[in-house]
Amino acid sequence: MSKQPRWKGPNGEGYVVIQFLLFGVVAFAPASLPGQAAWSGLWRSITMLLGFALIGISGVLAFTGLLNLGSNLTAVPRPKDSAHMVEHGAYRVVRHPIYSGIIFGAFGLGLLRGGWLALLYALVLFIFFDIKSRQEESWLREKYENYADYQQRVRKLIPFVY
């Protein structure tokens, strides 16, 4: 077991704290800078439709990932000692479907909120999950000898893309 910096905690608890702080920013921080007009007209209609679509996709992806993970689910990035490797269901499409679902949901919410700043928060959340997943995957490679092969076959956060 590799020693983590104190703020991260031995199982990645610090990542979870930061994650929930970012959720608050995505949900409640201003969608636009002061004095900046909200999106309007046809552009607003398009972004609302895209936002609802992304939120729908995000819900399916995250919920399916939760179901597929089953008893392996843990709040922290380090896998449980009793966990087994999951490659079925949503995990055949993307290595971190719960993170992917949250990211898609954040971008969907940003589009619904109608401001560039709201989309920037979603981008920051994406970058955070990319960093968090690197640590998690380090632990997964330590635990499962065939995880590296899985990484070669399945994309990390955006199905079929990244």
Q: Is the pTM of this model over 0.75?
A: yes
When pLDDT is cut at 50, 70 and 90, the band that residue 131 belongs to is very high
Q: What is the pLDDT of residue 7?
A: 73
The 10s digit of each residue's pLDDT in 96-122 is: 999 999 999 999 999 999 999 999 999
Chain CA centroid to CA 117, Å: 19
Would you kindly state where each structural domain of the chain is located, as residue ranges? 19-26+38-76+83-153
Q: What pLDDT does residue 37 have? A: 82
Q: Quick check: 1 pLDDT over 60? A: no
Full DSSP string of 31-53? SS-TTPPPP-HHHHHHHHHHHHH
Q: Class of the 19-26+38-76+83-153 domain?
A: mainly alpha
